[in-house]
Amino acid sequence: MIKILVIDDDRMNCELIQSVFTRHGYQVLTATSGIEGLTIFRQHAPRVTILDLRMPEMDGLTVLKEIRAYDPHAPVIILGGGATEEQENQARGLRVTDFIRKGLSLDVLVECVNRVVQLPARSVSALPGAADSAAVADTGETILVVDDEPLVRDLLVQFLSLRGYRALGVKDGAEALSMVEQAPPDLILLDLIMPGMDGAEVLRQLRQREYTGGVIIITGSHDEDRLDEAWVMGPQEVIGKPVDLEQLLTSIQLVLVCREC
């Protein structure tokens, strides 16, 4: 059975599209956030992805960029209700398969998907984003991602691995400190708000243990006292959630270059 993935923050839209395509004989997977959608995409390799452009936290363009990093040829159909001309152009620049405005008949979407699935399929294992990922130049630098949210942690590890870093993920401060003792990474991406030992305490203990690598704090908190407490420990950067992946990559490159200097 052909798999379709629907990524839309509106659960009702997901259920409606799922109902329609199930009646047409497709297996439909749904996700109500970009991070969840990317996880399902990597696990199930859908034949077609239907992607909402406007979503909170991680919008459709960011999701499309990550899909392209993993699989440059995966068919993606954008649902673009309220999209600007610039957003449409960006989507087309990322080789979107089709761009359908919300509000059109679902028959149009069904026809579009039917047309796409009739094209020759390429297995994920044969795509540069998957099988050739090992061919990405290894930077030789290790990055440890410390975040108690599995979806965020997995996304960041995948994102960094595809760019040549040796990325590892742990769920809490205790695991992070244990890994640093065994083999100190070149850089740590450290969530500020975690149960048990928060990011500020992890950073404090790293300083006590004379960890010399870089540290970038990632946080969705607006707690100024906690942020001030973290800054005192001397991280190289603080980046807010939802994470802009391109901004994060730039910050990582700068931190690693400055560390070498």
Write the pLDDT tens digit of every residue in 94-131: 888 888 876 666 788 898 899 888 876 653 333 333 33
| Residues in a beta bridge with 188 | 144, 215
Contact 190, 146 (CB under 8 A): yes
Domains 3-126 and 136-260 fall in the same CATH topology: yes
Write the pLDDT tens digit of every residue in 184-219: 999 999 999 898 898 889 999 999 999 989 999 998
Length of the chain: 261
Q: What long-range pairs does 31-34 form, CB within 8 A, spacing at least 24?
A: 31/5, 31/6, 31/7, 32/7, 32/8, 33/7, 33/9, 33/57, 33/58, 33/151, 34/7, 34/58, 34/59, 34/60, 34/62, 34/63
Separation between Cα atoms, residue 172 and residue 169, nearest integer Å: 9
Query: Which CATH architecture is the domain 136-260 placed in?
Result: 3-Layer(aba) Sandwich (3.40)
Task: Look at residue 7 in the predicted model and tell me its pLDDT.
Answer: 96
Q: Give the residue, 103 or 165, on which the prediction is more confident.
A: 165
Q: Give the residue, 155 or 196, on which the prediction is more confident.
A: 196
Contact 5, 31 (CB under 8 A): yes
Q: Is the pTM of this model over 0.75?
A: no
> What is the mean predicted confidence (pLDDT) over 134-149?
77
Write the pLDDT tens digit of every residue in 66-85: 898 888 889 999 987 666 77
At position 113, the amino acid (one-letter code) is V
Separation between Cα atoms, residue 248 and residue 190, nearest integer Å: 12
Homologous superfamily of 3-126: Response regulator (3.40.50.2300)
Q: Domain ranges in the chain?
A: 3-126, 136-260
Q: What is the mean pLDDT of the chain?
A: 84
Write the pLDDT tens digit of every residue in 42-56: 999 999 999 998 888
Contact 11, 40 (CB under 8 A): no
Task: Look at residue 81 in the predicted model and tell me its pLDDT.
Answer: 66
Task: Look at residue 138 in the predicted model and tell me its pLDDT.
Answer: 67
Contact 97, 116 (CB under 8 A): yes
Q: Give the residue, 74 or 261, on which the prediction is more confident.
A: 74
